[in-house]
Amino acid sequence: MTSRVVVLTGGSSGIGRAAAHAFAARGDKIVLAARGLADLEKVAAECGGQALVVPTDVTDRAQVDELAEAAVDAFGRIDVWADTAAVVAYGRFEDIPPDVFDKVVTADLLGPANVARAALRVFRKQGRGTLILSSSLLGHVTVPYMSTYVTPKWGLRALTRILQQETRDAPDIHVCQLVPGSVDTPIYTSSGNYAGFVGRPPPPVDTAERMGDAIVSLADRPRRSRSVGLANEFVEAGYSFMPPVYDALVGPLMRSFGLSRRRTGPDKGNVFASKPRVYGGPARYGRAPVSAAALAALTGAAALALTGRRRLKRRTTA
């Protein structure tokens, strides 16, 4: 299917920007939405200047509804709606100001809910359409210092599953979930921070372009869920099958690999308002040393957990 109408919320940077490039290369009609007009216009120019730009805050239901109306008014329909909009605030739960925690949860859970509501309303009228919600590996496991992000991603995973159940009566309406692992995007340099150190994507790190291609693939061939990340299966296996070992290791490993050595003071980041995006920073910040014993323990635990998971799968499918 060519020349689709694609709405991208969160289209100003990171995975959304990469998806915009990929859809534009296919000749699709793009509607770009995010809070920051300047960044949206940059992405539109990168896509050939043909994209429709609609500044939108997904936490504002009225703005999301207006975005849907603008897309339909401009192009007559919406074929694909992919939502990658998200914000983050690092820090221990008790150190994060309540208003910051509430705002991140609102953006990362109620924002996608607003998107889903608007998209499904259009899809029901058309009788078809594909909604792609960007979840995360952190919607399947937990890590310290990211309660603001993990909490709504678990909720989004549940919402996506429910929407898949509730659209079974409409075989041409698809609800898909992208589950990225660690991705190098500007979300780390833009995030709120109460952890003392700038966050960074822990290795192995994928590119935003790989995730953008995965979104296009889901639009081409919808499926319920697609996990993209070299370590996703290992991390989920360790979390599910060896929780005591996982809980013992995840804190030190998060401090070593999920937080850089670049210090930062308490900062709300882009949680409440858009900020200019900075590319290529956190993935290059130095890491704290981690002991060989901890890495060996993690590797062994992951291998055992993954073996157990695969054996369980074989038993249940036999």
Report pLDDT digits (tens) over 249-301.
999 999 999 999 999 999 999 999 998 776 655 555 544 444 444 444 555 55
Across the range 196-208, mean pLDDT stands at: 94
Q: Which CATH superfamily is domain 5-231+270-282 in?
A: NAD(P)-binding Rossmann-like Domain (3.40.50.720)
Which among 24, 31, 74 is positioned nearest to 55, based on CA atoms? 31
Find the mean pLDDT for residues 195-220. Answer: 96
Q: In this model, does residue 186 exceed pLDDT 60?
A: yes
* C-alpha span between 14 and 185 (Å, rounded): 5
CA atoms of 84 and 132, how far apart (whole Å): 9
- In this predicted structure, the answer to whether residue 131 has a pLDDT above a threshold of 50 is yes
Cβ-based neighbour number of residue 92 at 10 Å: 11
d(CA 303, CA 114): 40
Over residues 56-78, the pLDDT tens digits come to 999 999 999 999 999 999 999 99
pLDDT value of residue 276: 75
Phi first, then psi, for residue 153 (nearest 5°) are -70, -35
3-state helix, strand, coil in the chain (%, to 5): 50, 15, 30
More confident residue, 312 or 24: 24
pLDDT band at 312 (very low <50, low <70, confident <90, very high): low
pTM (2 d.p.): 0.90
CB 82 within 8 A of CB 134: yes
Cα 79 from Cα 132, distance rounded (Å): 11
**Residues assigned a catalytic role:** 149
What is the overall mean pLDDT for the chain?
90
- Cα separation of 316 and 314, whole Å? 6
Rounded average pLDDT over 136-161 = 98
- Rounded Cα distance, 280 and 133, in Å: 25
Cβ-contact 46, 56 below 8 angstroms? no
Q: Percent of the chain beyond pLDDT 90?
A: 84
Mean pLDDT of 111-139: 98
Q: Where are the domains of the chain?
A: 5-231+270-282
Residue with tokens 């995030």: 191
Instruction: Please give the Cα distance from 81 to 129 (Å, whole number).
Output: 8
Q: CB of 228 within 8 A of CB of 214?
A: yes
